[in-house]
Structure formats: C-alpha cells, structure tokens
Structure 1
Amino acid sequence: MPESVPVRCPACRREHRFTAPSYPCVCGAPVTPPLDPGGVPTAVTHQVWDEEWVGVRCASCDRLDQWPHPELGCPCGTVLRIPVSRTDGRSAPPERLPQLTPAAAPAGETPPRRAFQPVTIRTARDAVTAAALYLRWLGYEDIRRADQRPPSGIGLAARGLLAQVDPTVRPAALRDVECLWLTAMTESSACVYFSLAGYATEARTCADSLGMPLFVLDLTGTPQPVNTLADDLDAAGA
C-alpha cells in the first residue's frame, strides 16, 4: 500500500494525512515516491519546472524515471510540497519526463503494447503528466519540456515531435492550432495537441488540413482521439 505521513500546514497549522500517489512504470508495476517522514513540507509560492519532478526507482525492474513531486493542497489555499527520500542518492535529469524504452521484438514480430495506464487529472500538472505518459506509451522517447513556450498551455517535446497540452477550461482555438503547427515546422517536427476542454470547430478543421492529431484529455487521464489522425496515431503508435 502507498505510504502516508502526517503533514502540518506552515500557514494555518492545520494537520493533514498525506498518502503518496502511485504512477505506472513501463514494466507495469506501480511506482510510489518514498516520502520522508522526518522532512518538513514547504509552501509552493511559484511553480518551477526543475522542482516539480523527482527521480524514483521502480522496485520491480530497477528503472529510474522522473515523476511529479508529491504536493498537497491545504483548504487555506497553501500548496505544500511534501519531502521525498532519495533512497538511491540519485535522481533523473531535471528537465526530463519518463522515457520509454520499447522492448526488442523478435525478427518479423511486433509485440502488442501494454494497455495504457492513465493518471487521474485533478490539476493542470496532472494533465501534463497524463499527456507525457501517453506519448511515452505511444513510443516517443526523450520526452521533455519544449524549448519554446506556447502562447497558451504547456509545450512538450520528444524526438521528432512537438506537443501542446492545454489544461484550461477554454476550448482550443484556431490560433492555438496554427501556432503549434508553425512552431513544429520551424523545428522540422510533427505535432500533436492535447486539450482538456475540446476544440473550436475552426481549430478542428485546420488541424485536419495540417495533418495534426487532436486529443481530448478526460478526467481519468486517458487521451481520447478527436480526429482520424489521432485515431491512427493511437492505433499504430510512434
């Protein structure tokens, strides 16, 4: 079972009991960040990408990947970052998300992909994590934060791919799709869009003409294909 620790909010002094979240390793085993029972939680005043991820080693396959740093939202409005024990003394590179290393298939055979294991979306960061996990499941490697920040949402990049994740409640507009496509063109990359609130009609029409797969993230964290291009990508993978 995931471990839990007592947490006191430094702002309002309210007591909480925090249970560490679990994430799916590529081997299928759950990975849980090891909480530091003696650590002191800190209030998050502003989000810094390097501090939002922590390296955790899978107990089943010994793979070291990067996962969201555990956080707790106090009813007083304070966001608390929960201390994590680094039992192996190492962490993944600071700006890398979990990578996928596909298993080698025998000559002439293509093994079926393991079923996608989503992460429930409660926050904007959960949406980014869900999209990154999905891209990793598709077979994209070296997933990281995009070099260029998009006009809206959060950009992710992989080898040969640029992705945009829009965790807002506003449907993605035509301009959002066009900006992603133009940025991807300058980097000679394909592109894909993930939206939590869907797409305007003009955005969907434009994406079809530009060859851009569109996905909607449901609250379970499972990307749902919106157009045929997304259906094809979901079926075939990278």
Structure 2
Amino acid sequence: MTESVPVRCPVCRRDHLFAAPVYPCPCGAPLAAPLLRAARPEPITHRTWTDDWVTVRCPECDRQDQWPQPELGCPCGTVLRVPVRPVGTRSPSAPVEGPSRLRRPWHIPLPRTAVAARPSFRPVTIRTARDAVTAAALYLRWLGFRDVIQPEVRPVSGIDLRGPGIVAQVDPTTRPANLRAVECLWLNGLNSSSASVFFSLAGYADDARARADQLGVPLFVMDLTGCPQPINAPADELVSTGV
C-alpha cells in the first residue's frame, strides 16, 4: 500500500493526506517515492528541472532511477513540494523484511472524485512543455471529451487544445497563471460555445483564481507526474460528472 503522510500547507494552513503517485519500475514492480513524514513541505515559487527530480530505489530489483518529485496542489492555489526520504534511509516505522517475507499485492485506488464507471487515469511523465500539453489532452479524453487535438504550433490565442465543445489552455511555465490568461481562455470558450479548462504547472495568481470561480472556469494544477488535480469548485464538478 502506498504510504500516506499528513501535509499542511504553510500558506493557508489547510491539512491534507497525501500519497505519492505510483509508477511501474522497469522490473515491473509498482514503485512510489518514499515520503519524508517529518519534513515541512515547501511552496514552489521557481522551478528548475534539476530540483523537480529525485532518486528512488526499487526495493524489488535494487535499481535506482530518477522519478518526478512528489507535488501537491492545495485548493488555495499553492503548489507544494513534498520531501522524499533520501536513498539508503528507512522509515522508522517500516518493518525489516526477511528473505521469506511475502509482500502484499499493491492496489492503486481511483481518485476520490472520479466517476465510479470511469477507468483509472494513466498519466504521462512531464519533462517538456509539449509533454504538459499531451498530459492535459489525455486527461480531457479521460473525462469524456472526444477528438481533442493539439496544434503543431501554438496559436496566438494561447489555446493549446480544442475538441467538440471544449477549449483548453496549458501553462507549463514557472510562474502562476495570471488573470488575463484566465479571462482570455473564457472568452475563447464563449466565442466558440465551448467549455473552457485551464491547466497550470505553477498554480494561479489569487485574482486569476477568484475570476475563474466567478466565470465557472475549471482550474487544474499539474505536477511532473502528469496527474492534474482540481483546485476549484468547477474543476471538482467536472471531475465528478465528466462529460
């Protein structure tokens, strides 16, 4: 079972229970970064690709690889970096496994807000800005939007994804998405009679978040695992109901 740790946002003081995403190791074993329970999460105000990756050792094959640093999108708009135990250390509460101990099978639950009939979302790791757009497109298709496409060259409008009844913008930069970006996306959706959805890697400015709530624009925060997290009520509703 994936380890969950309590995480408190240092900005709004909201408490969360967070579990690191699970990925398949090349050996086939499901693997999650071991979280450091006693460490304080840090708000991400500036991104570097070096800081966004951590070394994780597979307990099955002993292989060490670089995995995305676990991140949590708080509803207040802050994106938190959740610390990971360094390779070579063990959780004080973790049992020592002898050679004859049988490991229990892993189980990856659906997101708590997902519709029961919907299969689990299969993300793609984000390493480039293009990967972020691809991850958002996959997520929209998972929600039920069909024929979502991404242009080869980003248009002047800033719309990264289009499909029947949907337009979406993806901000892969290290700055929180601003008010103008949210309003421009909403206007594009209004002009084409489409729903508008925003995805951001670095969260949203306070005024952008407030305006999105007023306009009913779903806001999602993405981490490098490629798993979008809803951070406002319209986004929660979209995840719960789908298309």
The TM-score with structure 2 as length reference comes to 0.50
- Report the more deviating stretch, 151-160 or 215-224: 151-160
In the TM superposition, what are the counterparts of 1:68-217 in structure 2 within 5 Å?
A: 112-145=117-150, 155-217=160-222
- SS of the aligned residue for 1:145 comes to coil
**Contact 1:161–1:189 (CA under 8 A) maintained in structure 2:** yes
Counterpart-to-counterpart distance in 2, 1:152 and 1:137: 25
Paired residues, what number?
Answer: 130
**Retained in 2: the 8 A contact 1:153–1:167?**
no
SS of residue matched to 1:144: coil
* Matching residue of 1:233: 238
Task: Look up the equivalent residue of 1:225 and give its one-letter code.
Answer: P
Deviation at 1:203, TM superposition (A): 0.3
TM-superposed deviation, 1:153: 5.3
Change (3 A) 1:234 1:111: closer
Identity of aligned residues (%): 64
CA contact (8 A) 2:159 2:185 kept: no
Task: Output one character per residue of 1:75-131: Cα deviation in whole Å (capped at 9) or x when no partner.
Answer: xxxxxxxxxxxxxxxxxxxxxxxxxxxxxxxxxxx9711000111111111101100
Unaligned runs of 5+ in 1: 1-109
Q: Distance in 1 between matches of 2:179 and 2:134?
A: 24
C-alpha change, 1:179 and 1:196, in structure 2 (3 Å) is: same
Quick one: which amino acid aligns to residue 201 of structure 1?
D
The answer as to whether partners of 1:116 and 1:137 remain within 8 angstroms in 2 is yes
Q: How far does the alpha carbon of each residue in 1:120-166 deviate from its partner, in whole angstroms, 9 at most, with x for none?
A: 11111110110000001001001113699565855201110110011
How large is the RMSD of aligned CA atoms in angstroms?
2.4
- Give the AA of the match of 2:139: Y
**Higher relative contact order, structure no. (Cα contacts within 8 Å, ≥ 6 residues apart):** 2
The residue matched to 2:124 in structure 1 has which SS? Answer: coil
**4+ residue runs over 6 A deviation:** none
Q: CA deviation at 1:173?
A: 0.1
Name the CA distance, whole Å, in 2 between partners of 1:170 and 1:153.
16
Structure 1 residues 169, 150: CA separation in 2 closer, same or farther (over 3 Å shift)?
A: farther
Q: Distance in 2 between matches of 1:111 and 1:216?
A: 22
List alignment gaps of at least 5 residues for structure 2: 1-114
Amino acid across the alignment from 1:237: G
Distance between the aligned counterparts of 2:215 and 2:130, measured in 1?
Answer: 28
| Residue identity in the other structure for 2:117 | P
Deviations 1:159-195 (A, max 9, x none): 1011001111111000000111111111111100000
Equivalent AA in structure 2 for residue 182 of structure 1: L
Query: Aligned AA for 1:227?
Result: N
Report the residue type matching 1:120 in the other structure.
T
SS at match of 1:130: helix
Distance 2:140 2:213 in 1: 20
